[in-house]
Structure 1
Amino acid sequence: MTTTAPRLGPAPGRGHALVRLVRLLLVAAALLGTVLAAAGPASAHAALTGSDPQDGAVVATAPKEVNLTFSEEVAMSDDSIRVLDPAGKRVDTGEIQNLCSGSVIRYGVALLPGLPDGTYTVAWQTVSADSHPVSGAFTFSVGAPSTTSVALPDTPVGGGLVGALYGIARYLSYAGFVVLVGGGAFVLACWPRGAAVRPVQRLVVRGWLTLTAATLALLLLRHPYTKTGKLGDVFDLGGLRAVLETKTGAALSSRLLLLGAAALFVAVLFGAYARRRDEKEHKDLTFGLALGGTVVAAGIAGTWALAEHASTGLQPGIAMPVDILHLLAVAAWLGGLTALLVALYRAPSVERSAVERYSNLAFGSVVVLAATGIYQTWRQVGTWSALTDTRYGQLLLVKVGLVAVLVGIGWVSRRWVRRLAERPVGAETSDAATSDAATSEDEVSEDEVSAEVAAEPEADEREADPERAAQLARQRAAVATAQRKKARDADPERAGLRRSVLTEAAVAVVLLAVTTVLTSTEPARTEEEAGRGRATAGAAAVPNRPVDVRLPFDTGGVDGKGTVQLTLDPGRTGANALHIYVLRPNGRALDVPEVKVSFTLKAKDIGPLPVLPDRIQTGHWTASGVQLPMAGEWLMQVTVRTSEIDQTTIEKNVKIG
């Protein structure tokens, strides 16, 4: 009678280990969710440092064009700058003018002639040189401010559901790269026998699948992520064609081509390499795989360096190779750690020498990470204050802290490695037996196998049935493997090493999440330079631009409602003429007993400087020689009295000079 060959199930203690693994990964996933939730939409990497007219400016006559100045290069299209009138109608020509000169990055758009007075909205949206979308809006007024019905999108570019999906795809692409490259490096450099172990094979293949799927998702989401914000536009072929013509599109499509070569590498690694028995052929194949795998891995890492932070800013010619080394070191360290974790929990046995080789590989990776990280920190942060005063610097400090924790846990793991006892003689198994056991050990219990082997037929029956003999041989090999694994699980040193590596892997999940958020955050150096540029632009004198302000008031008495309209001419430091018009809700002049005005510059502790205007006619008050000694943001307070007991004070911040 022929029976089905039983397969090994989990060894004793595996259930508890898997429960602990699931718990730790759930904690890591929760931490990942917290980090991503706090990240919000991608921050601007190219910042708006100035504009003409400036934000909130009131100009006497309509300008002929609107100019925007950025901190770094941006990609402009016809819809990148839109100027809208108070009714929301577009009043620009739609033709973007490149006004860049030297280090000044400036673009402009011409306005239609004969624009009436009122408040105009400038909405802009573009993509910075490091591939991240940026957008914003501001207003200026012609003649006097007015109400506006312009409604801008609530969700900024790069945010919403599309932004969340794009962020998840970015994270998965990094994770897939780390597992693919690090897993392959672990097999080639540390544990060649692991090429025949099914759990390790599945890990690396899943890394390749994850990276490929995430890259395709990034390519499809790129158009709605940077332009429309609508998830349905992932199927817009015109948008996809436009993306392929950009630097980011070229990088993603190149990554897909390189992943084709990576698939060949994986096929050879787990095929011919795993089956090779001749020592010389095995060594030659190892050298070829190591050389080819390094070239492919560096090429894939280069697709990030080509399209993101390293490709713009200071010293891109140095920063891009450094970024590639940084990514490869991360992959070798964290990807190798993941492969070691799988081997410790799922493979029948892992030699002490393999763990020691990985420990040396991880140490070298940390050294490379430290060297490249110091350079990247100087390049992206620039000053000590930026480490604590900017979001990028704060995230970088969190990343450094997590790396320090990983190094500490790694030191504990190295101590466990030193305490490991050498494997007993006879513990080694053939590659075929190891592969068969690794494939089946998760599905059938050891007791079932032992019972089946105990019920073996007599020797003559086995000789008469070669198929049955082969089946029993496989069963005996599986039982032997399960027994070795049971003995391994009982080793306290190995158990300690597994716990230590598992903790490292949990911290690495969070570290990878912080790194993903960091790559989508405005570098600290750019943020500080943009802030200085805005401060310089805000302090620049703007001559002959009267400040017009309209403020509603309500004193609570009879005829106590209306509007105060003030004009400060020329609206700069020094002497100014002040005209005040008090109007009823229907726009007619309102006669009031008293109007008072004061100016306070809180930033310099100046004021309040009182102004007592003279009544010229009904509803019209004026004062000449109003002295404002310094430029800055002045608080203007207007007191209106409509009767002996009814009065109110209203205020408004106005920018002078």
Structure 2
Amino acid sequence: MTTPTAPRLGTALARLLVLAAALLGVLLAGAAPASAHAALTGSDPQDGAVVATAPKEVGLTFSEQVAMSPDSIRVLDPSGRRADTGEIIDLCSGAVVKYGVALRAGLPDGTYTVAWQTVSADSHPIAGAFTFSIGAPSATSVALPEQAAGGGVVGALYGIARYLSYAGFAVLVGGGAFVLLCWPRGAGVRPVQQTVVRGWLTLTGATLVMLLLRGPYTGSGKLADVFDLDGLQAVLQTKTGAALTSRLLLLGAAALFVAVLFGAYARRTDPKERKDLAFGLGLGGTVVAAGIAGTWALAEHASTGIQPGIAMPVDILHLLAVATWLGGLTTLLVALYRAPSVERAAVERFSRVAFVSVAVLVATGIYQSWRQVGSWSALTGTRYGQLLLVKIGLMAVLVGIAWISRRWTRRLAERAPTLPEPESGSEAEGAEKDLEDEGLENEGLADEAPDDEDAGDDRPADADADGEDAPEEIDPERAAQLARQRAAVATARRKKARDADPERTGLRRSVLTEAAVAVVLLAVTTVLTSTEPGRTEEEAARTGGTTAGSTAVPDRPVDFRLPFDTGGVDGKGVVRLSLDPGRTGANALHLFVERPNGKPLDVPEIKVNLTLEEKGVGPLPVAPDRIQTGHWSASGVQLPLPGEWRIQVTVRTSEIDQTTIEKNVKIG
């Protein structure tokens, strides 16, 4: 049987990283950059309204609490100049979240643009714009930025930093838990140490990047503003800034934990002292890990919406379970490939720990899904619900692969070990570390070593390469070289025996597959945490609000006129269409066909098609009934989703003369 080698490990890990980067890029590119928890549910004046006199202020109503700054609401006149005073007015009352901005006196007639940008309570930026007119509508020269809040290069970098922070947290917490709970001897194994330390470095670096990018991410969107110290100071005063700063402080405590785990604990030989130190590390490590997980729970989805007092502890448990499972899986993968040996008992213990972690993960995940989705329709009809279904599918695949890994683990347990495991702190283990420090390849040394059974015995250190007695005083450097060679031979033999074990080979392959799926799962989870929950998206649609980044359109009847010309005799006229109440759900449709002089025109046939291109809905045909001359009507016209609908009206004035006219209108 062919066994995995170091080059194959490198290839496998490289493919894993490429897969992670590719999938993360696709997910981040497909995610709406301004997805958030809050939504604009109303405005005063309403979008498209025409008021007789200039209002004293413009008010915006949101579904949840938001953070406002002096530039959060801007009112621009038809020429693009600021028409507001920049003074944000708190109009909140009870459960109503409403803010406004005062307008200047003496504003002329025309169309005014209201552009707003703020940050929702779960840390995500939201933005939008709408118009209203004073006196009568007019042309406007206002050009709003095409890039949505939280998008562009800054948004992509921030999303990558979020992913790396989750990955670093999982490796740091899961690696430490794997050593303490499953493989205490792993505290002295160099590859395991490097893995956990890299997890700490990744989480720390990603947190610093998020802190620096936070200002431009929620504000200008310009990468150069990373170096704006005033913006950084403003970020530190926000809830998210406080959470990121707290995370950095807790990472200082985590660094002390890592230093003790791989220092004093790894060197401790007395069983009682080692047990006491392990208890202290376990207790302190759990507190620090829970604190770091709490920085996510306090600043994101768990802190808003329904039942935040229950949701935040559940979210912390969820994150700890994910980290223990996936981080432990990563550490086990490294140990199976790079460590000289891993005890079968350690693999069995991790299997039990992983089972408990998955049980906690499922229980907390069910609660979170109910809280964030809320209905079966939101599970399939919203982006959050669709991503959640993908995550559930990946979890099912991961559990299936884990079941295969457990079977390989049981097979390992059924076989008695063929080689003794080296004790912690032994001379051979110290020699192995020396070899790793010098970058020597164990396999190469093993090939150069003799194949006889005496190659790894305890020959005197003063024997030369030919087996003859050396002088009484041997060169210390040569003696050290011989000692390293003997240790390398012993290590190579153990590795050869390990790689020849089919059960261990099967376990390594199944764990590698688990890790690959876990990378994909973590990418989906990262996008899910920055996507508007399905519950709030449906609630915003029902109340006539919009999701972040969209223009607010209140519910009101849709009325417009469309001129037509079929080209035949008596083929010119106007279709006046009315859609009431002009929102998602059932609507009443009325069409009035008039001649150019305004009198009713009787036509043989009129048809209507409704299409929502952005959601791939339609065309939905509507066949109105003739009520009287020039009046056609249809009841119960269903508009299932909000958005910009294209309404096409086909008018036939004779057997051969007909035309189709259309108009786009925003619904819900």
Instruction: Give the TM-score normalised by structure 1.
Output: 0.83
| Contact residue 68 and residue 119 of structure 2 kept, 8 A | yes
AA matched with 1:285 = L
For 1:457 and 1:43, locate their aligned partners in 2 and report how far apart those are by CA, in whole Å. Answer: 74
Q: Which of 277, 295, 318 matches 1:285?
A: 277
Q: Which of 483, 489, 498 matches 2:499?
A: 489
| Contact residue 224 and residue 234 of structure 1 kept, 8 A | yes
RMSD value over aligned CA atoms?
Answer: 3.5
| Contact residue 28 and residue 527 of structure 2 kept, 8 A | yes
Tell me which residue corresponds to 1:565: none
Tell me which residue corresponds to 2:619: none
AA matched with 2:435 = S
AA matched with 2:443 = E
For 2:10 and 2:282, locate their aligned partners in 1 and report how far apart those are by CA, in whole Å. Answer: 33
Quick one: structure 1 residues 463 and 443, their matched pair in 2 at CA, closer, same or farther if it must change by over 3 Å? same
Tell me which residue corresponds to 2:207: 215
| Contact residue 559 and residue 578 of structure 2 kept, 8 A | no
The answer to whether structure 1 residue 434 and structure 2 residue 429 are counterparts is yes
AA matched with 2:319 = L
Q: Which of 353, 373, 379 matches 2:365?
A: 373
Runs of 5+ in structure 1 lacking a partner? 1-10, 558-592, 617-625, 640-646
Tell me which residue corresponds to 1:77: 69
Output aligned runs, 1:76-95, within 5 Å: 76-95=68-87
For 1:135 and 1:173, locate their aligned partners in 2 and report how far apart those are by CA, in whole Å. Answer: 26
Q: Which of 127, 130, 137 matches 1:135?
A: 127
Output aligned runs, 1:461-480, within 5 Å: 461=471, 464-480=474-490
The answer to whether structure 1 residue 606 and structure 2 residue 589 are counterparts is yes
Tell me which residue corresponds to 2:605: none
For 2:43 and 2:257, locate their aligned partners in 1 and report how far apart those are by CA, in whole Å. Answer: 52
AA matched with 1:342 = V
The answer to whether structure 1 residue 98 and structure 2 residue 97 are counterparts is no
AA matched with 1:469 = A
Quick one: structure 1 residues 360 and 435, their matched pair in 2 at CA, closer, same or farther if it must change by over 3 Å? farther
Quick one: structure 1 residues 540 and 19, their matched pair in 2 at CA, closer, same or farther if it must change by over 3 Å? closer
Output aligned runs, 1:199-348, within 5 Å: 199-348=191-340
For 1:479 and 1:64, locate their aligned partners in 2 and report how far apart those are by CA, in whole Å. Answer: 86
Secondary structure of 1:94's match? strand
For 1:71 and 1:105, locate their aligned partners in 2 and report how far apart those are by CA, in whole Å. Answer: 7
Quick one: structure 1 residues 550 and 311, their matched pair in 2 at CA, closer, same or farther if it must change by over 3 Å? same
The offset of 1:156, in angstroms, is: 1.1
| Contact residue 97 and residue 108 of structure 1 kept, 8 A | yes
| Contact residue 151 and residue 221 of structure 2 kept, 8 A | yes
Quick one: structure 1 residues 462 and 405, their matched pair in 2 at CA, closer, same or farther if it must change by over 3 Å? farther
Q: How many residues align?
A: 595
The offset of 1:439, in angstroms, is: 5.9
For 2:269 and 2:667, locate their aligned partners in 1 and report how far apart those are by CA, in whole Å. Answer: 83
The answer to whether structure 1 residue 151 and structure 2 residue 143 are counterparts is yes
Tell me which residue corresponds to 2:517: 507
| Contact residue 39 and residue 545 of structure 2 kept, 8 A | no
The offset of 1:614, in angstroms, is: 5.3
AA matched with 2:305 = G
The offset of 1:550, in angstroms, is: 10
Quick one: structure 1 residues 439 and 206, their matched pair in 2 at CA, closer, same or farther if it must change by over 3 Å? farther
For 1:634 and 1:507, locate their aligned partners in 2 and report how far apart those are by CA, in whole Å. Answer: 42
AA matched with 1:81 = I
The answer to whether structure 1 residue 446 and structure 2 residue 443 are counterparts is yes
Secondary structure of 2:117's match? strand
For 1:230 and 1:415, locate their aligned partners in 2 and report how far apart those are by CA, in whole Å. Answer: 52
| Contact residue 431 and residue 483 of structure 2 kept, 8 A | no
Secondary structure of 2:130's match? strand
Tell me which residue corresponds to 1:391: 383
For 1:140 and 1:85, locate their aligned partners in 2 and report how far apart those are by CA, in whole Å. Answer: 10
For 1:330 and 1:651, locate their aligned partners in 2 and report how far apart those are by CA, in whole Å. Answer: 52
Moved more, 59-68 or 479-488: 59-68
The offset of 1:467, in angstroms, is: 4.9
| Contact residue 174 and residue 327 of structure 2 kept, 8 A | yes
For 2:363 and 2:168, locate their aligned partners in 1 and report how far apart those are by CA, in whole Å. Answer: 24
| Contact residue 188 and residue 424 of structure 2 kept, 8 A | no
For 1:268 and 1:308, locate their aligned partners in 2 and report how far apart those are by CA, in whole Å. Answer: 32
Secondary structure of 1:606's match? strand
| Contact residue 386 and residue 528 of structure 1 kept, 8 A | yes
Tell me which residue corresponds to 2:114: 122
Quick one: structure 1 residues 404 and 268, their matched pair in 2 at CA, closer, same or farther if it must change by over 3 Å? same
For 2:441 and 2:356, locate their aligned partners in 1 and report how far apart those are by CA, in whole Å. Answer: 41
| Contact residue 195 and residue 273 of structure 1 kept, 8 A | yes
The offset of 1:451, in angstroms, is: 3.9
Secondary structure of 1:195's match? helix
For 1:133 and 1:484, locate their aligned partners in 2 and report how far apart those are by CA, in whole Å. Answer: 55
| Contact residue 559 and residue 577 of structure 2 kept, 8 A | no
Moved more, 457-466 or 49-58: 457-466
| Contact residue 20 and residue 523 of structure 2 kept, 8 A | no
Quick one: structure 1 residues 655 and 297, their matched pair in 2 at CA, closer, same or farther if it must change by over 3 Å? closer
Tell me which residue corresponds to 1:357: 349
| Contact residue 196 and residue 435 of structure 1 kept, 8 A | no
Quick one: structure 1 residues 436 and 338, their matched pair in 2 at CA, closer, same or farther if it must change by over 3 Å? farther
AA matched with 1:70 = F
For 1:338 and 1:186, locate their aligned partners in 2 and report how far apart those are by CA, in whole Å. Answer: 10
The offset of 1:601, in angstroms, is: 3.3
For 1:83 and 1:354, locate their aligned partners in 2 and report how far apart those are by CA, in whole Å. Answer: 64
Secondary structure of 1:86's match? coil
For 1:615 and 1:380, locate their aligned partners in 2 and report how far apart those are by CA, in whole Å. Answer: 53
For 2:435 and 2:34, locate their aligned partners in 1 and report how far apart those are by CA, in whole Å. Answer: 45
Moved more, 63-72 or 456-465: 456-465
| Contact residue 390 and residue 524 of structure 1 kept, 8 A | yes
The offset of 1:438, in angstroms, is: 5.1
Secondary structure of 2:298's match? helix
For 2:283 and 2:163, locate their aligned partners in 1 and report how far apart those are by CA, in whole Å. Answer: 27
The offset of 1:222, in angstroms, is: 0.4
Secondary structure of 1:607's match? strand
The offset of 1:26, in angstroms, is: 2.8
The answer to whether structure 1 residue 55 and structure 2 residue 52 are counterparts is no
Secondary structure of 2:544's match? helix
Summarize deviations over 1:283-340 as a string: whole Å, max 9, x none. 1110111011111111111111111111111111111111111111000000000000
Tell me which residue corresponds to 2:616: none
Quick one: structure 1 residues 610 and 554, their matched pair in 2 at CA, closer, same or farther if it must change by over 3 Å? closer
Quick one: structure 1 residues 27 and 222, their matched pair in 2 at CA, closer, same or farther if it must change by over 3 Å? closer
| Contact residue 248 and residue 307 of structure 1 kept, 8 A | yes
Quick one: structure 1 residues 60 and 556, their matched pair in 2 at CA, closer, same or farther if it must change by over 3 Å? farther
The offset of 1:51, in angstroms, is: 1.1
Runs of 5+ in structure 2 lacking a partner? 456-464, 547-551, 581-585, 600-630, 638-644, 652-657
| Contact residue 172 and residue 197 of structure 2 kept, 8 A | yes
The offset of 1:469, in angstroms, is: 3.0
Tell me which residue corresponds to 1:569: none
Quick one: structure 1 residues 231 and 449, their matched pair in 2 at CA, closer, same or farther if it must change by over 3 Å? same
AA matched with 1:55 = D
The offset of 1:118, in angstroms, is: 1.9
